[in-house]
Structures are given as C-alpha cells and as structure tokens.
Amino acid sequence: MFGDGGEVSLTMKYMNRFGCIGAACEENCCMDGWRIDVDRAHYDKLMAMAQFSAKPIARKFNATFIIVPKKNKKEPERYIIKQFEGGGCSLFDDGWCELHATFGYETLPHVCAFYPRKLKYVGETVELSATGSCPEVTRQIILHEDGVDLEPIDFSRVHRKVLQDGLDPRDTRPFFRTFIEVRGFVMELLREESLAWDERQFLMLWFSKRTTEVLSKAVPKADLSPVAREMELLRNPKVRHEITKRYAELQTPAALVLMVVRAIVRPKTKGIVRPKWNELTNGVINSYTRLAEMLPQSEDPAEHDRQAEASLREPQHMTTIEVWAEYRRRRDRIRAIPEVARTIDRCFKNYSIHTWFHRMPTEENDIITYTLRTLTQQSAMKFLLYSQVGLQDAVSELEAAAPEEREAVLAKVLDTVEKATVNVFYQIARHVEHGLLIKWLAEMLRKMEMFSAAGGVYLIHF
C-alpha cells in the first residue's frame, strides 16, 4: 500500500520539514486568482453535505461552485470555485478556509489539499517535491544548507495521494532512459563546492549543449556513449578548469537587461490584481531613472508583445546601456561582501538543485532548452534581487558600521538579504514560472539569437 514502508521513495529535506503556515503566510495561495478546479468526487461529496446543512450554509455553498459546461463530447464538465473580484477564492476568510472550517480537511478538493506538493512516479520510485510559488516552501528550500539533501519521504506528513505526471519506464527514448542518471549527474555538479557557483553553471550548460543531440524527445534511439563520455570528462578537474576558463571571458550584452525586465512586467491575466508583485516590480523599476518609459505600456498581453517585438528593431537607446551599467554597479556592490555573496549563491544553488528534482527535464523538448529556461528564470530573479534599494541601503549601513559593530550589522544585512531573496524567488515562481512568461522570454531570446550556449553564458554572467 502507498506509504506503508514497502515503497521506494525519494524527496528532499525541505519537503519533510514543510507545513502550510496558513494565516501567517505573507501571500496565501488561495488569494492569487488561480482557477480552482474541484475534482468530481469532491464536488459530489460537497454538494451532498451542503444539502444536509443549515440553510445559510447550503445556500452559500450552492452559490460558490460554478459548473463549466463541456466544450465537446470528449471533455467532461468542470467545477470551479467562484472568485472574488480581482481574484481570490471566495471561500477564503481572514487567513482561513471556510470549506475546511465547515466540513473538515477530507472535503477539500485535491487541488486545495495537495498544493504546493507534487507527487510522481519516476520509474519504480515515488518522488515528492513542491513548487517554489509557496513562500514557505521557498524558505525551506533556500534558507537551510541541507534543504535539498535527498532522503526518503516522511509519509506521516503526506495525507493524500494525488499523483501527477511522472516518468513512464516503458518510454525507451534516450532522453527518458538516461533521465535518472543525467539528473543525478547535474545535481552532483551543482553541489560541487570546489568550484565557484558560476563555474558549476557553465559546466551544466556545457554538458547540456554537448548532449542535446541525444537527450531530446525527437530522438527515438541513439548510442548513449557520448553522454557517458561527457559525464566522465566533466568529472575531471583539469577538463573542468579548461572549460570554465573559456566562458569567463564572454561579456553579456546590455540589450539582455531590457529583455529580462520586459518579461517581468508583461501582463499576466486581465483583471487579476497582484499587489505584492506590483510592489516588488514597481519598486525596482522606478528606482532606475527612465527605465519605466522604455517599457511596453499596454495592459493587453498581445499588444505588450507587439510593442516589445517592435522595440527589438529600434536602435539601442543610450539608456539601455545606462540601466545595464547601473544594474551591474548595484549587483557588484552587494556581491563585494563575501558573506552576502555566499548566502545568495547558496540560495541559487539550492533553488537550482530543487528545480532539477521538481521539474523533470523531459518536460521540455530537449536538455538544452530545459537548461536555458532555468537560466532565463534566474536572470529575472537576479535583476529583481540585486536592484532592490533596500539591499543597497543595508550595504551602506554595513559600510558605515564601526569595526566593533560589524558583526551585529552583518547579521542584520544577511537577514535582509535572505528575506528579499525568498520574496523574489517565490514571486517569480508564482508569476513567471507558473505562467507563460518564461516561455515568452525564451522566445524573445531566440529572436535575438541568444537562445544558445553563448546566450546561456550571458545569462549566467547576468
């Protein structure tokens, strides 16, 4: 039976520590405007329970669930929960769930009971992970050095079995057959403390570029020896050194900064209010003089894309170069404090390792696309993090501290940095990773001929 100890299971330490913090959460997932689909079994159960309840409860619950008629014969009808105007579950009440409070945990639809978790079979192994769009998950992933260490699932914390897409062991395409070994190799590379964080990413990129001809969904059969050879080569410190040396020289073009910011400000869904996201992104954008006027102005995603694409053909503004220079100045100033740089690198390292575990590379067409998309997401994270005026102020405070105060001020700065990083990471996961923005950004990079290994290097240097 599932979770009775007879199953081979795998998770990361952050998952065995995670628990929803409910009313203490800075941005409850229930209020984010996501469509909340109710599975048929829970819909039927809830309707039956509502019928036998007191009139006000019955009325309330009957009015809460919307039936979406089937579009064609093949599709079933769907059941969704009504939203507040501007987005948010209409059963959410001051940090608590009315459904949970009225009828108990068992009646929660799967999506409510299981978010942010993801349970999947990878071959014979059952794996548990969670999306970083939940701030508490992100905290558990990035704030503890051992957050992404692998270990068996603590089933006493998993109250439902809701399986999502996993890896079918019958798929014999090389990309699928080598998945576990390749993922293990990349995670090992990303953990390699003898290398700087950027160097580890160069090697990941190099490996993806060199193996993508084999590690692609389009390839039904292939000789796997080139993949094994690349892994062996990259375990050799001399080879690693040679490769990372080649990448160190490449300079990121200024135009990339504008592309990244355009993806960040791209509207998501009409009518959904995103106060935390707006506060974060407007705060950063307005801190760069004249950046706002260089961005597409439309609220309509299609019009935004048209304006952004048209601007690709415009001559480069002097201000793009100024923004790029200012961004680098802020980033380098923050990273000049070794303790801060180490903390930020640990956050990125843990998040990347978690991503390789949580999102299977086979979700993309090939390994290089997967790698470039993770690097693209990280460039947006870096921009929103390093640009923050609050971090610059914290650095100024540290610079002004007397030697005897330094330790205490540094502890405060590190705390500020960690909080800012959690804020940026979970919001990017929620508003960018969950949506189509990363895909859009990848498309833009393709048009600029940067969706390539060289483009990957620029993203790492970003």
Binding site for ligand SF4 (CB under 6 A): 20-22, 25, 28-29, 115-116, 134-136
Nearer to ligand SF4, 109 or 456 (CB): 109
Nearer to ligand SF4, 116 or 174 (CB): 116
Q: How far is CA 386 from CA 170, 332, 341, 378, 415, in A?
A: 45, 9, 11, 12, 15
| Integer Cα distance of 336 and 33 in angstroms | 39
Burial class (CB in 10 A: 0-12, 13-18, 19+), 462: buried
What are 163's strand-pairing partners? 119
Minimum CB–partner distance for residue 416 and ligand SF4 (Å) = 21
Nearer to ligand SF4, 130 or 257 (CB): 130
Nearer to ligand SF4, 16 or 392 (CB): 16
- Contact yes or no for 110/162 (Cβ under 8 A): yes
CA-wise closest residue to 51 among 61, 65, 41, 43: 61
Minimum CB–partner distance for residue 253 and ligand SF4 (Å) = 37
Nearer to ligand SF4, 33 or 135 (CB): 135
Minimum CB–partner distance for residue 157 and ligand SF4 (Å) = 13
| Integer Cα distance of 335 and 411 in angstroms | 16
Nearer to ligand SF4, 210 or 274 (CB): 274
Residue 135: strand, helix, or coil: helix
- Contact yes or no for 451/365 (Cβ under 8 A): no
Amino acid code (one letter) for 233: L
Rounded to the nearest 5°, which phi and psi values hold at 191? Answer: -90, -5
**Residues found in the chain:** 462
Minimum CB–partner distance for residue 186 and ligand SF4 (Å) = 27
What would you report as the CA-atom Rg of the chain, rounded to the nearest whole angstrom? Answer: 24
Minimum CB–partner distance for residue 421 and ligand SF4 (Å) = 17
Minimum CB–partner distance for residue 30 and ligand SF4 (Å) = 7
Minimum CB–partner distance for residue 110 and ligand SF4 (Å) = 14
Task: Determine which helix (DSSP H) or strand (DSSP E) holds 129, and give its type and residue range.
Answer: strand 125-130
Which pair of structure tokens corresponds to residue 301? 């995603």
Nearer to ligand SF4, 26 or 77 (CB): 26
Minimum CB–partner distance for residue 26 and ligand SF4 (Å) = 8
Give CA 233 to chain center in angstroms: 30
Minimum CB–partner distance for residue 22 and ligand SF4 (Å) = 6
| Integer Cα distance of 55 and 66 in angstroms | 19
CA-wise closest residue to 451 among 382, 371, 384, 380: 371
Nearer to ligand SF4, 26 or 363 (CB): 26
CA-wise closest residue to 29 among 89, 90, 70: 89
Nearer to ligand SF4, 18 or 202 (CB): 18
Query: 């205490």: which residue's tokens?
Result: 408
